[in-house]
Structure 1
Amino acid sequence: MNDFFASFYEKFYYATDFSLEMFERFLYQRYALAAILCALAFSLIYYLLLDRPKFAKRIVWLIMLLLSAIISAVFLYNDCKGIFENESLDFPSEAYSALAFGSFILTTLLFIVLSLLFKKISKNVSKIPF
């Protein structure tokens, strides 16, 4: 599982030392799981808890998507940077930013796919976003 997610995240940033540390600590898997849970939680909130006509707007859906993606990216950036700084490993901030951007993309894609699935169980927001 870590191999699969490593291949995804390494498309956004790859440096031998940094990527090896990420891989050996199973951080790729950890951050992918966080992205999955974030997309799942926010899509369930939108399609089940906010299932009211007043929330049946594309802007509300977009806000939920952006919230989930931003939270996932910020979590990756802060957690990853904190782990490596605690062990006195110095990596460039562009490494964390690039992986956070990858997490943003992953969460966005997952949210869209989950929207296609969850909109079938919703009554009022089933036409959102498409």
Structure 2
Amino acid sequence: MKPLKFIILISYLLLAVACNNRGENSIAGVYVMSFKNDYSTATDTIIIEAYNIETKTFLVERRDGFHRIREGKILPKEYKQQHWIATFNEEKQALQETEIGKQIYINQAAGTLSFGATYRKIK
């Protein structure tokens, strides 16, 4: 009977740890956005990965791919990539990067983030 109690206790502890980390881990993921206008077509991807859960620090990578449109012609695809580290502010529900001042607002319930436009979570 003692082994059964021990297994149940360990299960509850693991469940409690998982529930406490769920909020920060649900921020992590891959978010995408695409658009088209008269001057360009683009696809943006933002990848957020947990860096340090205790300090609520995340690695953020932004990948942009776009085609410029000039005089009706679609030019070759160009790429940009940025990396930074951001801290999650629970009160504002935002990832904040302090060097340049970038802020990414997270809507965990909807699975979206706002960073100049609305990105949807795909992973």
Task: Please classify the TM superposition score into its range, dividing by the shorter chain length.
Answer: under 0.3
Looking at secondary structure, tell me which structure has more strand per residue.
Answer: 2
Looking at secondary structure, tell me which structure has more helix per residue.
Answer: 1
- Which structure exhibits the higher relative contact order, with contacts defined as CA atoms closer than 8 Å and separated by 6 or more residues? 1
Instruction: Name the TM-score, length of structure 2 as normaliser.
Output: 0.26
Instruction: Name the TM-score, length of structure 1 as normaliser.
Output: 0.25
The structure number with the bigger radius of gyration is 2
